[in-house]
């Protein structure tokens, strides 16, 4: 799942980003309100972590515009203000939850998971192909019922493949969507991670799902695709 963090305190933003990426979320960060607001409409986010006090544009005005435009992304507000009036103001503007600074990362993570669960129907949403199952809420991956442990990047890579089964994905496209960088000399890094992923999901299983298309990129597919 992809999360946007709009937080002007760079140490706080980095702390949140590192923690969420370790939990297999894909995280983008903006350090001012204007940039963050524009970024929201450039990408499809599953949740927004939004600071109240921001340069250029404050969090409450961002939230107000999001709800006016009927954008239903779950929003977790962050603030150094802990008065009831401040929390009520944020909730009235359309925030889904509120967290007061300073906070423990474990609490932020728990609140984020709760917001993501509210936004989906039961059972938890899954991406599947053949006997591969990727749970978007718990971040568990299984094949043929066997749990497979993936790193954050391996998880993001598998999610990208599963969202586009049968489509040949170029290295440039993978670099942009999984690593968030423009393709340059990133070829070897992508090849290495694809090989890591292939060993975990294909080596001991049939049919083989992850295939190399020479000179083009990679594709994940069943024999029927």
- Last-in-domain residue among 57, 88, 118: 118
Report phi then psi at 176, rounded to 5. -70, -45
pLDDT tens digit sequence for 146-175: 999 999 889 989 999 998 899 999 888 888
- Does residue 55 belong to any structural domain of this protein? yes
Catalogue the long-range contacts made by 121-130 (C-beta closer than 8 Å, 24 or more residues apart): 127/159, 127/162, 127/163, 128/162, 129/162, 129/165, 129/209, 129/220, 129/221, 129/222, 130/207, 130/209, 130/222
CB 90 within 8 A of CB 46: no
The verdict on 160 and 181 lying in the same domain is: yes
pLDDT at position 86, please?
66
Distance CA 95, CA 41 (A): 18
pLDDT tens per residue, range 14-61: 999 999 998 888 899 999 999 999 888 777 788 999 999 999 999 989
| pLDDT tens, residue by residue, 198-216 | 999 999 999 999 999 998 8
Are 111 and 16 in the same domain?
yes
CB 37 within 8 A of CB 57: yes
The C-alpha atoms of residue 216 and residue 86 are separated, in whole angstroms, by 53
> Residue 44's pLDDT is what?
78
* pLDDT score at 177: 77
The pLDDT, as a whole number, for residue 120 is: 46
Residues 8, 48, single domain; the answer is: yes
Q: Could you report the per-residue pLDDT of 120-129, keeping only the tens digit for each?
A: 434 447 889 9
Same structural domain, 113 and 42: yes
Phi-psi region of 156 (alpha: psi -120 to 50; beta: other; left: phi over 0): alpha
Helix (H, G, I), strand (E, B) or coil at 50: strand
Going by C-alpha positions, the residue among 183, 125, 129, 135 that lies closest to residue 155 is: 135
Q: Considering the domain boundaries, does residue 114 fall inside one?
A: yes
- In this prediction, residue 121 carries a pLDDT of 39
C-alpha torsion angle, residues 126, 17, 58, 118 (rounded to 10): 20
The verdict on 188 and 207 lying in the same domain is: yes
| pTM to 2 decimal places | 0.60
Mean pLDDT taken over the chain: 87
> Domain ends where: 118, 153, 177?
118
**8 A C-beta contact, residue 126 and residue 159:** no
Whether the pLDDT of residue 197 is over 90: the answer is yes
- Residue 186, pLDDT > 70, answer no
Q: Do residues 99 and 108 lie in contact, with contact meaning Cβ atoms separated by under 8 Å? A: yes
Same domain, 30 and 111: yes
- Nearest-5° Cα angle at 85, 64 to 37: 25
* Domain ranges, residue 187: 126-220
Distance CA 85, CA 79 (A): 12
One domain for residues 9 and 77: yes
Count of structural domains, the chain: 2
Task: Let me know whether 198 and 104 are in one domain.
Answer: no
Residue 131 pLDDT grade (very low, low, confident, very high; cuts 50, 70, 90):
very high
Same domain assignment for residues 79 and 145: no
**Are 167 and 107 contained in the same domain?**
no
The answer to whether 20 and 47 are in contact (CB under 8 A) is no
Q: Which of 105, 119, 20 is nearest to 75 (CA)?
A: 119
Contacts of 39 (CB under 8 A, 6+ apart): 4, 28, 30
Cβ-count burial 64-85 (b if 16+ within 10 Å, e if not): eebeeeeeebbbbbbbeeeeee
Residues 111, 203, single domain; the answer is: no
**Are 111 and 141 in a shared domain?**
no
Is residue 225 included in any domain, yes or no? no
Q: Give the end of a domain, one of 118, 149, 164.
A: 118
């Amino acid at each position: 799942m992809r999360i946007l963090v709009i937080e002007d305190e760079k140490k706080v933003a980095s702390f949140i980003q590192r923690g969420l990426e370790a939990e297999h979320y894909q995280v983008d960060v903006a350090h001012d309100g204007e940039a963050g607001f524009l970024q929201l409409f450039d990408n499809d986010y599953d949740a927004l972590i939004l600071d109240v006090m921001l340069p250029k544009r404050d969090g409450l005005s961002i939230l107000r515009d999001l709800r006016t435009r009927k954008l239903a992304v779950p929003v977790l507000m962050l603030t150094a203000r802990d008065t009831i009036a401040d929390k009520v103001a944020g909730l009235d503007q359309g925030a889904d939850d509120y967290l007061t600074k300073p906070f423990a990362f474990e609490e932020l993570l728990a609140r984020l998971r709760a917001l993501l669960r509210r936004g989906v129907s039961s059972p938890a949403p899954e991406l599947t192909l053949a006997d591969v199952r990727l749970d978007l809420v718990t971040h568990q991956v299984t094949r043929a019922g066997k749990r497979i442990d993936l790193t954050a990047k391996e998880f993001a890579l598998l999610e990208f493949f599963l969202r586009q089964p049968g489509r040949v994905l170029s290295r440039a496209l993978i670099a942009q969507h999984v690593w968030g960088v423009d393709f340059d000399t990133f070829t070897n890094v992508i090849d290495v991670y694809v090989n890591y992923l292939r060993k975990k999901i294909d080596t001991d299983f049939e049919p083989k799902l992850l295939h190399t298309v020479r000179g083009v990129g990679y594709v994940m597919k069943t024999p029927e695709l």
